[in-house]
Amino acid sequence: MFNNQMPSADDLPTSRQLLHSTVIALGVALLLLVTVVMPAEYAVDPTGMGRLLGLTQMGEVKQAIAQENAATDAVSPQPAVPEMPAQSSASAAAQAPADAPSSAARQDEMSITLQPGQGAEVKLEMRQGALVQYLWTANGGKVNYDTHGDPYGAPRDFYHGYGKGKQTEKDEGVLTAAFDGKHGWFWRNRGDAPVTVTLRVNGDYIDIKRVI
């Protein structure tokens, strides 16, 4: 019922044939690595075939996202930490600078030129509940941004976000301070050319300062 006949030596591939098949398999694997895997995963395209196939662009997006996530984590980490409870007027006043002037309606404009890969941060000092209208534009390209705030005396790992985005030309709206402290924007230029970010603010804040 079973065929136990062993193949003869003539039926088996020779060492030369095995070597030839192995070389072909290695060549195909190397070709796929250079033309498909490296462009699609790492945006490395030594042959130019990856860009023709649209794979290099995919790899560039992956690398840009990975780099931006790493940069955002380094600048404004978001650990799973509950928000700080609302402070009483007495405790907030105790943590605020003793010589801080009372906030009043004002307006300012600030422009910052970011070189490729460079980041910058601008903060407004505001009282809880204060409102500021803002508009920022990126001239010459697009930027990634993170709008967030820090109360007076916040722990190092504290994070309160108002919004963030990637590859954005402009953003506008009303920023309402969630607590006494400093509130503002972080931008990073992930393009390959300089970008000038112009920020215009109008409302109830004490001071405006570039902190990075």
- The whole-angstrom separation of Cα 158 and Cα 52 is 46
Question: Helix (H, G, I), strand (E, B), or coil: what is residue 10?
Answer: coil
pLDDT in tens, 180-207: 999 999 999 999 999 999 999 999 999 9
Q: What is the pLDDT of residue 181?
A: 97
Percent of the chain with pLDDT over 90: 50
As beta bridge partners, residue 135 has: 172, 200
Q: 79 pLDDT band (50/70/90 cuts)?
A: very low
Residues of the chain with CATH 2.60.120.680: 105-210
Q: Please list the residues that pair with 161 across neighbouring strands.
A: 148
* Distant-in-sequence, close-in-space partners of 7: CB < 8 Å, separation ≥ 6: none
Phi-psi sector, 199: left (phi>0), alpha (psi -120 to 50), beta: beta
Q: Are 168 and 129 in contact (CB under 8 A)?
A: no
> In this structure, what DSSP letter does residue 53 have?
T
pLDDT score, position 191: 95
State the Cα–Cα distance between residues 151 and 177, nearest whole angstrom.
10
What integer is the mean pLDDT of 139-149? 97
* pTM check: above 0.85: no
145, 164 in Cβ contact below 8 A?
A: yes
CB within 8 Å of 208: residues ≥ 6 apart: 108, 110, 122, 123, 124, 125, 201
Question: What top-level class would CATH report for the domain 105-210?
Answer: mainly beta
Confidence at residue 120, expressed as pLDDT on a 0 to 100 scale? 97
Q: Tell me the Ramachandran region of residue 148: left when phi exceeds 0, alpha when psi lies from -120 to 50, beta otherwise.
A: beta
Q: Answer whether residue 175 shows pLDDT above 90.
A: yes
